[in-house]
Structure formats: structure tokens, C-alpha cells
Amino acid sequence: MRHCALLFALIANVAFANAQQLEDALHLFDEANGLVESGAYAEAIGQYHAVLETGFTSGALYHNLASAYFRLDEIGEAVRYYELARRLLGDDPQLLHNIQIVEAKIQSPFSELPTPFWRAWWYTLFGQYSALRFLISGLGFYLIACLLYAHYIWSQTRNNWHRRARAGALGVGLLLLLIAALVSGERSSIQGAAIIESTTLVTETGSIDVPEGVKVSFIEETDLGAEVSLPNGVRGYVDASVLGFF
């Protein structure tokens, strides 16, 4: 009994600590939003980062942080945090609008490689939504299937409609969970980064000037620097300090 009481007290303390952390994070977030409204963008950025240091993140937090950086004309950081926001918010209309505004300011001389047809097809079907949405929907259908099975066991209901409903809910739930895993894996398989300050890409044949805000794909860290791939597929090396990962 004593051990149970100690365990309960420990769980209660952890829950209270997490609740207190969340309350502190929300307080900092509200303060940062107020600073943005008053035009104190640099101070707001500091507050938003203080929220991140508490361990809590959200699409709205990344979105607001990116907008604050954009107000200070720090385009690279704005691109970085808008992309982090997109991982959580999917293709939110306001987010996409802001991303278009930022990308219009980037003087990128690099054309992007054509998108393979299968990737365009995948994006059209699933890329507009976050993995979290598919996960929640899948769990919802899976729960419905479990409830239907519980009802079947309790009531011994035997008819075609009930059997099809159970199988359908279970099938849809598992399919959505699979899509959630694939979407999450696809978005995390390639490490993206934004150039947060103008730099020079060193290639095997020379060097290329890369302006701030250009998005690159990070390949690996080497003795020559961070190996990255430009939007046009050209590979080279840059200093890792100019990369803002997302």
C-alpha cells in the first residue's frame, strides 16, 4: 500500500510539473504575440525561442516565429520556420500565402528539378495534410471497429451489415494509419535546410553564390563541410553554420 501511495504521489508530481510547464509556455507564447502586435519583433523572437526551450512546439508557434523573422527581413530564418510550421499544419491557406510572399523575395537563380509523376500524384492525394491528421483519423476508425466488435461479442449480433461495418472500419483505420506512417517517413527521409545567410557553394568544378533563403537538401557532414544539394540538383559543400534545418 505504501509503495502504491508513493507511486501515485510521483505520478501526480510529474503531471503537475507538466501542467506547470505548459502554463508557462502558453504565458510566454501570449507575451510574444503581444510583442509582435506592438512591433517589437526582435523581443518577440526571443520569447518564441523561450517557448521552444520549454520543450513545447506547435504549428502556430513556428508560424508566428517565421512571421516575426520576416518582419526583420531575416528571410532564411523565415523560410526555415515556415517549413517547420508546414510539417505540423499541412497546406494551411494562410501559411501557404505567407510562404509565397517570402519566396517572392528570394532572388534564387536556381530552377527546380521536375517533380516525378509519382511524387506529384502522392502529393495531390496525401501531401496536403499532415501525418497527424491521418493518424487521428486512423485511430478514430480503429476505435469504431473495436466498439463494433465489443458490441458483437456482447449482443451476439450476426448480420451482414454488422460484419461489413466492422471489417470496413477496421480496414479504413489500418489504411489511414499506414498512410500516416508513410507521410511521416516521406517528410523526414530528406533533411531540408534553408540558407540563413548568403554563402558560397564549393563544387568539384568551382564555386556558386547561394543567396539567403534558398532551400537545399542536406546530404551529410564531411571534412569539407556540409554536403548539400541545390534545387537544380547541383551538389557541393557549405559551412554548416549557414544551414537552418527543418
Give, in words, the CATH class of 191-245.
mainly beta
pLDDT-based confidence at 183, cuts 50/70/90? confident
3-class secondary structure, 229: strand
* pLDDT tens, position by position, 53-89: 998 899 999 999 999 999 999 999 999 999 999 988 8
Lowest mean pLDDT among 11-15, 60-64, 144-148: 11-15
Q: Which CATH number fits domain 2-105: 3.40.190.10, 1.25.40.10, 2.30.29.30, 2.60.40.420?
A: 1.25.40.10
Q: pLDDT value at position 191?
A: 85
Does position 12 have pLDDT exceeding 50, yes or no?
no
Q: 220 has which bridge partners? A: 227
What CA–CA distance (Å, rounded) separates 95 from 82? 7
Q: pLDDT value at position 190?
A: 66
| Three-class SS of 175-227 | HHHHHHHHHHHHHHHCEEEEECCCEEEECCCCEEEECCCCEEEEEEEECCEEE
User: Measuring CA to CA, which residue among 218, 225, 233 is closest to residue 202?
Assistant: 225
Q: What is the mean pLDDT of residues 16-37?
A: 86
pLDDT-based confidence at 128, cuts 50/70/90? low
pLDDT-based confidence at 127, cuts 50/70/90? low
Q: pLDDT value at position 18?
A: 67
Query: What is the model's pTM?
Result: 0.69
CB 22 within 8 A of CB 56: yes
Torsion of CA 160, 163, 167, 170, to 10 degrees: 140
All structural domains of the chain with their residue ranges: 2-105, 117-189, 191-245
At 233, list the grid cell: 540538383
Q: What percent of the chain has pLDDT over 70?
A: 83
Q: pLDDT value at position 156?
A: 76
The mean predicted confidence, pLDDT, of the chain is 86
